[in-house]
Structure 1
């Protein structure tokens, strides 16, 4: 497999938005009240790219998926504290799963975090049902941080997001 990770370009924004939205929808991750609003966030790669770094995975030039890397705070950070980077919105097209793209994207984020002076950890939030992603995080040394679990929609108790941290 000829897998390449690079920063997203404007030509990637729309197809990556579609891949991300489809991945979340197909995996049943948008079954809560404000899903339409979050679906718009998932599709708006240009907005993410203006506030953070969006990376894409390509195989022989074909877009497989992407991730948002938040180096230090800013509007895209959900749980990062000072000195922490954050991973958001990791998604790989269903037909491309199991070929290493997700792990390569997470590794690229870890490498970027390690290159930031003063960055001591990289954190992320994930849904309970994202078992494949959990396996990637744990294989790469991330540890669960239950004390940081949180709910993006306080009115819905069943939407608590799990958190992971990798100390650098």
Structure 2
């Protein structure tokens, strides 16, 4: 496999932001399309990189995708508590799918979490329709944690994020 996982450079922020936004838009994961407020968050890689670690998957100089690794509770954490790291905003460009980039990014996050003293698990939230991502998580040993499922937009009853965890 020629896919390299490494920290994102400042010069890659705009491209990764667009890959992330297009992955969510293309998969129908944003309720309001281009007007969805979360789209701005997906595109703002610089903001994520200032508060967490943004990793990219690169193959022969081509950016395939990225992920935000959150080493514990803080401004970028959605559900991580003490002793937990979190995976956020995993996205792979359509052209890079099916080649192992998503799995390599998740494995890199797991490896980073294992290197944090006192970190006992890694957690994440995912949408119900992200079936390819669910398969990656389950293949790597993550298990569903329905008791932690949550709604990021309480005013909309039908948006529930599923949660997974991996005990390290």
Shorter-normalised TM range: over 0.9
Partners in 2 of 1:17 and 1:33 — Cα distance? 15
Structure 2 portions without partners, runs of 5+: none
Q: CA deviation at 1:158?
A: 1.1
Match of 1:29 in 2: 29
Match of 2:71 in 1: 71
Instruction: Tell whether 2:162 aligns with 1:162.
Output: yes
Match of 1:60 in 2: 60
Normalising by structure 1, we get a TM-score of 0.97
1:1-168 to 2 correspondence within 5 Å? 1-32=1-32, 36-168=36-168
SS across alignment from 2:29: coil
Normalising by structure 2, we get a TM-score of 0.97
Bigger CA drift: 115-124 or 30-39? 30-39
Alpha carbons of 1:10 and 1:118: their partners in 2 closer, same or farther (altered >3 Å)? same
Alpha carbons of 1:34 and 1:76: their partners in 2 closer, same or farther (altered >3 Å)? farther
Q: CA deviation at 1:48?
A: 0.2
Alpha carbons of 1:105 and 1:33: their partners in 2 closer, same or farther (altered >3 Å)? closer
Q: CA deviation at 1:139?
A: 0.2
Q: CA RMSD in A?
A: 1.2
SS across alignment from 2:36: helix
Partners in 2 of 1:23 and 1:14 — Cα distance? 14
The answer to whether the 8 Å contact 2:25/2:33 transfers is: no
Counting matched residue pairs gives: 168
